[in-house]
Structure 1
Amino acid sequence: MVALVRKRAAPDSNGSAPKRSTSSRAKRSKSRLSFATQKLSHLPDINKIPSEPNSKPLDIFVWGTGSMCELGLGPAANTKEVKRPRLNTLLPKDKVGIVDFAVGGMHTLALDKNNQIWSWGGNDSGVLGRDTNKEGAEKLKDIDASDSDDDDGDLNVLESTPAPVEGLPKDLTIVRVAATDNLSACLMSNGDVYAWGTFRCNEGLLGFMDDILIQKTPMKIPEFENITQLAAGKDHILGLNTKGVVFAWGNGQQYQLGRRILERTRLKSLVPREFGLKNIKAIGSGEFHAFAITTDERVLSWGLNQYGQCGIEIDIEDGAVVSKPMEIKELAGKGIVSITGGEHHSIALSKDGDVYTFGRYDMKEIGISLEELSKLDGAYKDAHGKIRSLPVPTKLTTLPKAKAIAAGSHHSLAVTNDGYVFSWGFADTYAVGLGNCEDDIEKPKRIDNTATRDHDILIIGAGGQFSVSGGIPLDSKDVDARTDRIEEFEESLEN
């Protein structure tokens, strides 16, 4: 396995720092794993490991700003800005057959029907799991260089073109993928987790493990055992196991790991460990905050909360955190099945298809108009009386029933039961997929363009400044029927 190793030990006689051996690391991991396994062995199994991935090959659509190769449309300069969903012809449904994907801050992982993961996007942290510095690859210009404003230059060929991840085991079935800003991971049908890349923190590079700075190829993470679900933040990742116990790994400076991380022992967060959460059936994450849904359908949250993105009405101010998991009272009894978040906002989906949002308003991330917010008692105002956030989860009434949700850094997406995508939030990067917009999108608006008009969208994902969807084409009768339904709904909002 190719890795950059962190040099922490005292220099030897030659002045070079000795590296810990791989066998030593394996022994430490095995010891930690044995202790964790024994500690949790008495708990009953409440979650099942997915036995297989999604089965339907999808047409993949991308849109937004792709200046760091995020869109995966190849190196041509005209792929840097895509204002409405565009079919990615480099991932044909009949040949590649993508069945699932996960979107990170600046990269995407896509699982195909043949048990292979494809990747594209910025590869500075090794997140693509393959070598993109081979001879012949065009280099992106240094963003700090004086002539970096050349918008006409082509992108790095290997980063902007989808290609298979290298070094994954051939004898295991991949069932899910996950992506943070700087790390990639996949879940196997036996509950194992493989990961590659690194984590960053406030001061810069944090590392992958205590003695590995950047892991360039997939590596099995021993502490993740019998995992049933992964949830990725900006620079942390959660794992839920069969016992209903949650493990956290990565940067924890905003308490997103569910526990306090001391600066002098910061590298200890580079070992996945549980932090007291049990009886959990689902997990989710924002960039610096996180969520868990209990078996009795309570929703818990923790992490950065300065805009109320945890749904907890305490300490709504700069740098405020929820230091340990607390229940979001307003989501009790709502039947929440999925919850996620961006940098400062969050979205929750109920089993009945209702969507609830909370958090920052400045870039219209929560999808509620200023007029409606002014009528709500829970809206938070700054010292000048300006509404800045909504810490109380609130149902979106301008959106049809939904089956999937996604949150980018400052924009939001929802897929209706009929397979339409609605978007709202920050519009300057075109990540909302609505073309040229003079202002940010205040309320959910349907994406209606030729590429996706006849598709039932099944999966959605959002990154820092781009979005990805996957769907299947409908026959003409189904298209006509759902068009009638959505037009009737939109007309009802105007009355």
Structure 2
Amino acid sequence: MSSSIASAAPSKGVRRSSRASIVPPPVKSPQNPTPRKAKPPAKKKGRTSTASRGKRGDDDSGSSEEEEDEDDDRSRKRKTPKKATNGTTSKAARSREIKPKPRRVPVAGLNPVPELFSLFPSHASFSDAVRSQLDPIPDPHAGDEPAERAIFVFGTGDMGQNGLGVDDPKALDEIKRPRRHIGFAKMVEQGREGWQAGVADLVCGGMHTLAVDGKGKVWSWGINDNAALGRVTSKPDVTSEELEATPMQVEQLGSDREPFNAVRVAAGDSVSLAISDRGELRAWGSFRAAEGLLGFDGSAGSSKTQLVPQALKNVDKHTIVQVACGDDHFLALTSTGMVFACGNGEQSQLGRKIIQRHKEHGLTPERLALKNIVLVGTGSYHSFAVDKDGEVFAWGLNSFHQTGVDEDDGGWEDVISTPTRVASLSPKVLPDHARVVQVCGGAHHSLFLLSNGDVYVCGRSDGHEIGLADDHEQMVESKKRKDDAKAERAEREKQELAGFHGEDGQITATTEDGKTMTAEEAALAAAEAAAKGVPLPNDYVPVPTRLPFPKEPKAWEKDARADDLDDDDVSTEETKIVQIAAGTRHNFAVSARGYVYSWGVGPSSQLGQGDEEEVETPTRILNTALSNVRVLRAETGGQHSALVGIDREYQAKAAERREKREGAAAAAAKAEQEKADEKETNGVQPNGDAAAGDKEEEEDARMDGAEEVAGEEGKKLEPVVEV
């Protein structure tokens, strides 16, 4: 793979992949798949044709074995059951009625199923030093006052990636610093069902975003070229841009018979996944290969995209607790510590050999030879797993040493074909026996979050993807490797050029057509031969190395604007990180005190640092929108990013909201009492006034949806018509 990637901002108005410089986009974007109509019964008995089975497989690829058996039964021609003479269904027909299957009980094991609003996974057991800075976070399920988790967006939004709709002329502009998402803010303010406490989970894909609300509903927005949104975005009288740029629910995740309450979502370049509170997994979208769309489930059907969320073979009987997505592959972790891999395996990111001419075989999830795993993570084209003892395993593309595998264990290879232990991340050698609690990566670099709040990095470094300063010893060593190679190449070039001359100093080398080379041609030929003989190494850091962060203030200051404070200031202390995120060549880290940092290459404002397109070291993001916000989480895709945060003064604001609610409830109760008193007074009026009172009572009952009528005499009264 090339040692450089184009980082120029993409042109607007053109559909493209978020990794256009790595994986070329398709020549023509696929349209939203149209729902298939039911086929008429076969006229001949026997098995269905290969073509029809292929199409069925495309639609039902995620069904369980029981569902497949039912499909096979339904594919056979059956006689219509006769009805009994009394009009009831016959006994034979009743005996063939299919009863709803009981929902599968989650399998208990090493890893518990995640819950809504839980900020950290169960394995993230942070040290006392981290917990001392991590203030309690309100838990809506425990009856705590909701802290209203708000969403902040920034980066390129020309294709609706920021989810701000199309009504505002600036909604599709590039947002250079974090901006509160006004649409979700209004839903929270209005107390819309599922949004009383704000967003429960959020993740950015290549050019789309998924979010989960408090009711377990999944929302999506962004590019839908390859069905990544899980919903139709081509409807009459509504532009596709509006449907893509506006957050809407993914409606077909479950059914009344089998509801699907999402607790976690994951997203790749064009694939999306969701986990339910019962450990069920649903997936939709498509995977890509070097030449374009690869497909979704390896079926024989012609469609390479999956618009309707589906269960997946081999994992549908397991309880899934975590999913990590690369660009075009994912890892699924089960409650019992098993790992399944699925998607594009061209760089061995699936941990198994995929034959090039049968790339679609990777589209079926297969179990890896790993056990007792508690955590999975991915980069764009590489993968990680951590077992219960804290040992880290890595595999996949390693052209910039992004797997962190030691050279003694094969780390010099461009591809690590099978899961290999990363010795330098073992708790046995890490300070204080810390353990890796989160892993993520970009195209050619990786980040590792430890239980003591430290972050370790490795991989590509020429764009400061790993955040180390130029004077860091690992960066100095990387520069020395390249300088040494340049010197060796220059010496080789001299030798090659000398070989083109005779003893008299005249050029003797000839071109392909037999003519003597000119001086310029000889110099060029020597340079080409030297470059081939001595290739320059990539800029990389091969061993996971601790990444320094600037110190943080011990006490939050609302009006603080400085990116960094003096490290010698007595009011500062060491920064402890509790969450990390990686994009193609850029990164984010969230501290225990609720500050967010970014660094790397971000030509599309995805760093949130204004006009800065490259940030060398972790730099705090502070702007007006975040001045009063405690950041809980950062997520990023190809050219857009999002943050989740709560108001630092949420307790005071929660009290204000509580007072408003109590005041509104008291006013409503008072109005109801006055209404009841008025009814009682009208009910004792004599003669015509009594009839009018009865009529008012009927009108009130009708407005309240009640069916009661005041007495038999009231029923006989004619309607009172006022003139």
**Do they superpose with TM above 0.5?**
yes
2:328 is the counterpart of 1:235: yes
Distance 1:367 1:381 in 2: 19
Distance 1:386 1:196 in 2: 39
Instruction: Name 2:548's counterpart in structure 1.
Output: 397
Structure 1 contact 421–447 (Cα < 8 Å) conserved: yes
2:203 is the counterpart of 1:102: yes
Q: Higher Cα Rg: structure 1 or 2?
A: 2
1:357 corresponds to which of 442, 457, 462: 457
Secondary structure in structure 1 of the residue aligned to 2:183: coil
1:30 corresponds to which of 59, 65, 81: 65
Q: Give the structure with the larger strand fraction.
A: 1
Structure 2 contact 475–541 (Cα < 8 Å) conserved: no
Structure 2 contact 470–476 (Cα < 8 Å) conserved: no
2:306 is the counterpart of 1:221: no
2:231 corresponds to which of 130, 139, 145: 130
Letter in 2 for 1:252: G
Deviation for aligned residue 1:460:
1.2
2:138 is the counterpart of 1:60: no
User: RMSD over aligned Cα, in angstroms?
Assistant: 3.0
Distance 1:4 1:258 in 2: 35
Cα distance change, pair 258–3 in 1 and its aligned pair in 2 (3 A)? farther
Aligned residue-pair number: 443
2:422 is the counterpart of 1:328: yes
1:83-102 CA-to-partner distances (Å, cap 9, x unmatched) read 00001111123333211111
- TM-score (normalizing by structure 1): 0.83
Instruction: Name 2:178's counterpart in structure 1.
Output: 85
Secondary structure in structure 2 of the residue aligned to 1:105: coil
1:155-174 CA-to-partner distances (Å, cap 9, x unmatched) read x1111111111211152321
Cα distance change, pair 303–31 in 1 and its aligned pair in 2 (3 A)? farther
The sequence identity of aligned pairs, in percent, is 38
Cα distance change, pair 477–266 in 1 and its aligned pair in 2 (3 A)? closer
Secondary structure in structure 1 of the residue aligned to 2:471: helix
Distance 2:580 2:478 in 1: 23
Cα distance change, pair 3–275 in 1 and its aligned pair in 2 (3 A)? farther
Cα distance change, pair 178–33 in 1 and its aligned pair in 2 (3 A)? farther
Deviation for aligned residue 1:375:
6.2
Deviation for aligned residue 1:377:
5.0
2:332 is the counterpart of 1:181: no
Deviation for aligned residue 1:52:
4.1
1:357-408 CA-to-partner distances (Å, cap 9, x unmatched) read 1111122110001111456657783333787111211111224211110001
1:339-373 CA-to-partner distances (Å, cap 9, x unmatched) read 11011111111111111111111221100011114
Secondary structure in structure 2 of the residue aligned to 1:91: helix
Instruction: Name 1:456's counterpart in structure 2.
Output: 630
Q: Give the structure with the larger helix fraction.
A: 2
- Equivalent runs, 1:86-485 vs 2, <5 Å: 86-92=179-185, 93-94=188-189, 95=192, 96=195, 97-138=198-239, 156-170=241-255, 171-211=259-299, 213-224=304-315, 225-314=318-407, 320-333=414-427, 334-373=434-473, 377=477, 381-382=481-482, 383-384=485-486, 388-399=539-550, 400-437=575-612, 440-475=614-649
Structure 2 contact 63–313 (Cα < 8 Å) conserved: no
Cα distance change, pair 166–395 in 1 and its aligned pair in 2 (3 A)? same
Which structure 1 segments of 5+ residues have no match? 6-15, 35-42, 140-155, 479-495
Distance 2:262 2:293 in 1: 29
Deviation for aligned residue 1:477:
11
Which structure 2 segments of 5+ residues have no match? 1-31, 37-49, 70-106, 119-139, 141-146, 428-433, 487-535, 551-574, 653-723
Structure 2 contact 348–416 (Cα < 8 Å) conserved: yes
Secondary structure in structure 2 of the residue aligned to 1:169: coil
Letter in 1 for 2:547: L
Cα distance change, pair 460–284 in 1 and its aligned pair in 2 (3 A)? same
Secondary structure in structure 2 of the residue aligned to 1:293: strand
Distance 1:222 1:216 in 2: 17
1:150-195 CA-to-partner distances (Å, cap 9, x unmatched) read xxxxxx1111111111211152321111101111110012211011
Secondary structure in structure 1 of the residue aligned to 2:54: coil
Structure 1 contact 46–244 (Cα < 8 Å) conserved: yes
